[in-house]
């Protein structure tokens, strides 16, 4: 999830919600301790487990609300609380963004998945005071070669960025690697939304951008940082707009979009993908 990190909270959790306290992060960039990193591994493993299940579960005829119910049920069964539900008033446990929907799609019992769809499923889990956050692009049924390529390149861009993560590296190293993959394949990088730090808060500093810019701080990476890296690609224009639900972002030209995200730890000698689905 990539709501702008400087948004002020619009609501507080209900008395029955045992999830994270909603707050604006004012702590700056946090370096996690060994104990905190271990908790984040557990939170992230829960997210990875749920998304791995959704990749296998999603099929034509299901609704995005079906996916949301499964995610919430499994997050809670695994001992965590959905990070997204209630966050700034968001009503669900996943963002489910279909085809030309870019991010923050609200699950809907009337939105039925069709063979050929690309659905971006983004979710987070809050466990013992820390969050894990990740997103996958689900290919529903048999997708077109064009849709498959868009999803594949988005994942390649994510890993190109991740492989730049190391102490002493910078956010521009990550951004440049992502942008190069995207542009080499003829796609555009969405600039309206970025990745972010993640940990005690769902959104922390710094903004982890996916394109070369001088408008955002080019932070130097240090061991113990935890980053949500999440390139978002459009097949057409990079421009987006927000629908009347005040959440769902769509492409202005109705071109399709793809997104992948991992929570990544900066280690002493490189990186560790905390939401690695191959390890759960």
Which residues are known binding-site members for a divalent metal cation?
A: 122, 133, 196, 230, 261
Q: What is the distance in angstroms between the CA of the first residue and the CA of the last residue of the chain?
A: 21
Burial class (CB in 10 A: 0-12, 13-18, 19+), 245: exposed
β-pairing, 101-103 with 195-197? unpaired
CA-CA distance, 198 to 56, in Å (whole number)? 26
Annotated binding site: 104, 122, 133, 196, 203, 230, 261
β-pairing, 204-208 with 195-197? antiparallel
Q: How many CB atoms lie within 10 A of CB 147?
A: 20
Of the candidates 48, 50, 102, 98, the residue with the CA atom closest to the CA atom of residue 71 = 50
Q: Are residues 93 and 86 in contact, defined by beta-carbon separation less than 8 angstroms?
A: no
| Contacts (Cβ under 8 Å, ≥6 apart) of 165 | 174, 221, 227, 229, 264, 266, 270, 271
Element (H, E) at 123: strand 118-127
Decide: helix, strand or coil at residue 108. Answer: coil
Phi-psi region of 181 (alpha: psi -120 to 50; beta: other; left: phi over 0): alpha
Task: Point out which residues pair with 124 in neighbouring strands.
Answer: 133
């Amino acid at each position: 999830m990539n709501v702008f990190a400087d948004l002020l909270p619009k609501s507080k959790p209900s008395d029955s919600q045992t999830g994270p306290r909603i707050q604006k992060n004012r702590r700056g960039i946090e370096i996690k301790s060994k104990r905190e990193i271990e908790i984040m591994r557990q939170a992230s493993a829960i997210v990875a487990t749920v998304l791995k299940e959704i990749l296998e579960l999603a099929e034509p005829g299901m609704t995005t609300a079906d996916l949301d119910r499964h995610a919430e049920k499994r997050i809670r069964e695994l001992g965590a609380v959905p990070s997204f539900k209630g966050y700034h008033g968001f009503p669900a446990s996943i963002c489910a963004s279909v085809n030309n929907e870019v991010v923050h799609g609200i699950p809907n019992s009337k939105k039925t998945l069709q063979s050929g769809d690309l659905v971006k499923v983004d979710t987070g889990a809050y466990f013992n005071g820390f969050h894990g956050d990740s997103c996958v692009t689900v290919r529903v049924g048999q997708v077109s070669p064009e849709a498959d390529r868009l999803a594949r390149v988005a994942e390649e861009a994510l890993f190109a960025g991740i492989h730049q993560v190391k102490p002493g590296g910078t956010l521009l190293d990550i951004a440049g690697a992502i942008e190069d993959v995207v542009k080499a394949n003829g796609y555009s990088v969405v600039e309206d939304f970025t990745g972010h730090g993640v940990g005690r808060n769902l959104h922390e500093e710094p903004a982890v951008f996916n394109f070369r810019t001088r408008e955002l701080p080019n932070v130097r990476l240090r061991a113990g940082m935890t980053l949500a890296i999440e390139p978002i690609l459009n097949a057409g224009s990079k421009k987006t707009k927000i629908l009347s639900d005040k959440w769902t972002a769509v492409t202005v030209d109705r071109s399709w979009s793809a997104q992948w995200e991992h929570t990544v730890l900066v280690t002493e000698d490189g990186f560790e993908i905390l939401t690695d689905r191959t390890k759960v």
